[in-house]
Amino acid sequence: MVKKTNKNEECKALLDLNKCGHFRNVPKLEHHPSLGASGEKAVWDIEDLLKLGKGVRGCPYFAARTLAEKSDIVFCPYNYIVDPVIRKVICPSWFRCFPFSVFA
């Protein structure tokens, strides 16, 4: 196991080594029954995904990124949309959603 003082560094190290079980369990979180049927019309936030992720040992960060791609509406802080660097990292496909040049 890789132990770092910074969680981001530890996560990146585990991903680089392909040893992150939480990342491998992202599909369990994405396809959890509570997110389907009645849950698909519910509003989910990162705290909800964190709680569910602990139960299935799946990574809520990567699950949220995947689920955002499939969502009709994604709420996020204003700077996620306005800052081009953050926007490209979080969701590169958002560029197709904004055909006007205000975000270019």
Query: How far, CA to CA in Å, does 75 sit from each of 24, 34, 47, 48?
Result: 26, 20, 14, 14
Structural domain boundaries in the chain: 74-104
The burial of 18, by beta-carbon neighbours within 10 Å (0-12 exposed, 13-18 middle, 19 or more buried), is given as: exposed
- Could you tell me the pTM of the whole model? 0.66
pLDDT in tens, 92-101: 665 555 544 4
Average pLDDT over residues 44-68: 85
Total Cβ atoms within 10 A of residue 20 = 19
Mean pLDDT of 68-78: 77
Query: What's the pLDDT tens digit per position in 5-39?
Result: 788 888 888 888 888 888 888 888 888 887 765 55
- The CA dihedral of 83, 87, 89, 92, to the nearest 10 degrees, is -150
